[in-house]
Amino acid sequence: MTKQFRPIGIDVIGDVPWGTHFCHFYETEKDLISILVPYFKAGLENNEYCIWVTSAHVTIEEAFNALKKAVPLLDQYTKRGSIEIVTYTDWYLKNGKLDLDNAVQTISDRLRTALQQNFDGLRANGDESWLDRKEWKNFIAYERDLNPAIVHKRLIILCTYPLNECVAAKDILDVALAHESTFIKRKGGWEVLEVPEIKKSKAQIQREKEMLEIDVADRTEELKKMSHTLDKSQSRLRAIFNTTDIAFLLLDSDFRVLTYNTMANHWSELSFGIRLQEGVNFVELLNKERQGPVTEMMNAALAGSSLNYETNYPLQDGSHIWYCINVDPVKDLKNHTIGLCCSATNITASKLAEQERIRMSDDLVQRNKDLEQFAYIISHNLRAPLANIIGLSKLLRLTDLSPDEKIESEEFLFQSIAKLDEIVKDLNNILQVRRDVSETKEMVIFAELVDSILIGFQLIIEQNQIKVITDFSHIHGTFTIKSYLYSIFYNLISNSIKYRQSNIPLVIEIKASTKDDKVMIIFKDNARGIDLTTRGEEVFGLYKRFHMDTEGKGIGLYMVKNQVEALGGNIRVSSKPDVGSTFSVELPRIDFQDDKKT
């Protein structure tokens, strides 16, 4: 047991270590009280179990009252059971006879109980004024036996003897030799007597102390130099750690945060809206749907596998950021996995570049399709009116035409010219979709857009009892090109009205929602519908008509598809004849801040 010095409460003695056995000679009861009260006061205040064995000179009541004056909280200590005041007859005698072996055992038992009750140790005092001369020799032997019995134990024992009852100097010498130190107050001054072995030991301890102080001073200087060097190295490593553009996060085996760098904390604030803290469970910061897969991956890393993968996280502003994640096990000197080192590199720029490359590739493919469509229009749709115009022009040059024939030919010529103009306008509208994709974006409110479109259909809606149901409670609008979105809504609504069934009132349902980073807009009606089994591939084709009894050019859905794709989205359709159609428009969700960046 390491030496622990305890305050003894007696100035002339100072602090003493556990295992101390010393004695005090007193002349009066007042001297005895003046020593024992501060002695036990120090013990109580330092969480020690105290035993005061009284004799005829001081009764239990007198001892308690004297201690009460010096220790205001004595009642609390008594209630806890911190002090025991007993008479010598209860402590040393058994059946009226001296039983010193029992006294030694009783001390050991009391110490064990004190430690079990969370006391630091035990201090005791016995006033030996009751001692009969016939038992003097046995008692001095008992005092000597106490020294090895209490060594290395959390015990401090003070024995007190009345000086006037010691019959000779030999008695004093017997007592002094049985204790480590002896102190006495004579003529107002204190004297401390120590056995030669103790004096020798103290001198040796003093020399060793002086040598130790020198050694400690030298070692302290070395430690200061080493600490300074370590501080410099740590500062350099910390500077690198916190200025790198890679996020580093160190977790223990329970996924609690041990340490992190500035970049990791910055990305935590962006993604989770909170600052990282040591001790927080990192998995609990993630979205609920991510917690399971991430826990599974981290458990695989704890099992010894190094992981590398790409993922994206939604930021607080609604945009996304892409990371390349590395998770590696951290092992101790015995090759046991004790945690994880996670690093994350921002790859958003390269991901956006890749997405842009894909978009440009898809755009080139679409442009090729457009060119093929234009070639078809030019080779088929333009050929007929041009041929008519050429033929009629030649016919009108003939001189033998009658006035009626001439008027009729001119009428046919004008019709062909008008048809040609209509086709050219259609081509211009198609080209306009691709050309105006850079038009300024703005916040478009769905409800306002629908209201402005329905104004133009107000009369037909009232006459035919058409019902339009909208639900924009999940998302009220989006940031996009208003003219395109207006055209998409207009064409899909007008198609539902145009191709309504005559036997049932038309119901149009329009609702919007979000999914991941997409805006979903659903148009559903109970109109005449389209037979997708036979004509599914023609739905979004140019000049494709599905109900010949209703006036139309077959260009509306073609324009809708082109405008949706120009906005970076896509459109799908499900339809059944005489049941109705559902068009699902999916557009990218763009925030105002994101658009400003682009």
Pairing between strand 518-525 and 580-588? Answer: antiparallel
Phi, psi of 333 (to 5 degrees): -65, -20
Separation between Cα atoms, residue 339 and residue 337, nearest integer Å: 6
DSSP per residue over 437-464, as a string? TTSPPEEEEHHHHHHHHHHTTHHHHHHT
pLDDT for the residue numbered 256: 92
Helix (H, G, I), strand (E, B) or coil at 73: coil
DSSP per residue over 185-222, as a string? EETTEEEEEE-HHHHHHHHHHHHHHHHHHHHHHHHHHH
Residue 480 neighbours by CB distance under 10 Å: 23
Interaxial angle between packed helices 482-498 and 446-455, expressed in degrees from 0 to 180 and rounded to the nearest 10: 50
pLDDT for the residue numbered 113: 93
In the Cβ-directed half-sphere of 392, how many Cα atoms lie within 13 Å? 19
- The amino acid at residue 501 is Q
pLDDT for the residue numbered 493: 92
pLDDT for the residue numbered 576: 92
Separation between Cα atoms, residue 409 and residue 197, nearest integer Å: 145
Separation between Cα atoms, residue 385 and residue 421, nearest integer Å: 10
pLDDT for the residue numbered 152: 84
Average pLDDT over every residue of 59-75: 91
Closest CA to 526 of 570, 446, 464, 467: 467
Both structure tokens of 186: 């004579």
**pLDDT category, 592, cuts 50, 70, 90?**
very low
Share of the chain above pLDDT 70, in %: 83
| H-run or E-run covering 477 | strand 477-480
| H-run or E-run covering 43 | helix 29-45
pLDDT for the residue numbered 36: 92
Handedness of CA 189, 11, 181, 89 (dihedral sign): positive
Average pLDDT over every residue of 481-485: 86
- The amino acid at residue 497 is I
Separation between Cα atoms, residue 193 and residue 162, nearest integer Å: 16
Residue 145 reports pLDDT greater than 80: yes
pLDDT tens-digit map of 517-564: 899 999 999 998 888 888 878 888 767 777 777 766 667 788 888 889
CATH number of 439-598: 3.30.565.10
- The amino acid at residue 33 is I
Residue 39 exposed, middle or buried by CB count within 10 Å (0-12, 13-18, 19+): buried
Average pLDDT over every residue of 438-457: 86
- Residue 131: alpha-carbon gap to chain centroid: 71
CB 569 within 8 A of CB 584: no
Separation between Cα atoms, residue 60 and residue 85, nearest integer Å: 6
Both structure tokens of 536: 């599914």
Q: Give strand pairing partners of 97.
A: 94
Separation between Cα atoms, residue 342 and residue 307, nearest integer Å: 9
Average pLDDT over every residue of 253-265: 87
Separation between Cα atoms, residue 362 and residue 356, nearest integer Å: 10
Q: Give strand pairing partners of 513.
A: 520
- The contacts of residue 596 (CB under 8 Å, 6+ apart) are none
Average pLDDT over every residue of 263-267: 81
**pLDDT category, 48, cuts 50, 70, 90?**
very high
pLDDT for the residue numbered 122: 95
pLDDT for the residue numbered 204: 57
Domain boundaries, the chain: 5-194, 244-346, 439-598
pLDDT for the residue numbered 369: 67
CB 92 within 8 A of CB 103: yes
Walk across the sheet containing 155-162 and list its strands.
Answer: 83-87, 48-54, 121-127, 155-162, 20-26, 181-186, 189-194
Separation between Cα atoms, residue 115 and residue 123, nearest integer Å: 12
Residue 49 reports pLDDT greater than 50: yes
CB 443 within 8 A of CB 477: yes
pLDDT for the residue numbered 563: 85
Residue 26 neighbours by CB distance under 10 Å: 22
State the average pLDDT for the chain.
82
- Name, of 94-98, 118-122, 279-283, 456-460, the range with top average pLDDT: 118-122
Separation between Cα atoms, residue 253 and residue 295, nearest integer Å: 11
Separation between Cα atoms, residue 468 and residue 462, nearest integer Å: 11
DSSP per residue over 317-366, as a string? TS-EEEEEEEEEEEE-TTS-EEEEEEEEEE-HHHHHHHHHHHHHHHHHHH
Separation between Cα atoms, residue 296 and residue 285, nearest integer Å: 16
Selected from 3.30.450.20, 3.30.565.10, 3.30.300.30, 3.40.50.170, the CATH number assigned to the domain covering 244-346 reads: 3.30.450.20
CB 124 within 8 A of CB 85: no
Of the candidate ranges 143-152, 156-165, 417-426, the one whose mean pLDDT is the lowest? 417-426
pLDDT for the residue numbered 169: 65
**pLDDT category, 197, cuts 50, 70, 90?**
very low
- Name, of 149-163, 169-183, 378-392, the range with top average pLDDT: 149-163
- The amino acid at residue 494 is S
**pLDDT category, 237, cuts 50, 70, 90?**
low
The CATH architecture to which 5-194 belongs is 3-Layer(aba) Sandwich (3.40)
Interaxial angle between packed helices 556-566 and 482-498, expressed in degrees from 0 to 180 and rounded to the nearest 10: 150
Residue 506 reports pLDDT greater than 90: yes
| H-run or E-run covering 102 | helix 100-116
CB 263 within 8 A of CB 248: yes
Handedness of CA 285, 290, 294, 296 (dihedral sign): positive
Of the candidate ranges 281-285, 430-434, 454-458, 584-588, the one whose mean pLDDT is the lowest? 430-434
Residue 209 reports pLDDT greater than 80: no
Residue 489 reports pLDDT greater than 90: yes
Both structure tokens of 10: 């007696």
pLDDT for the residue numbered 179: 81
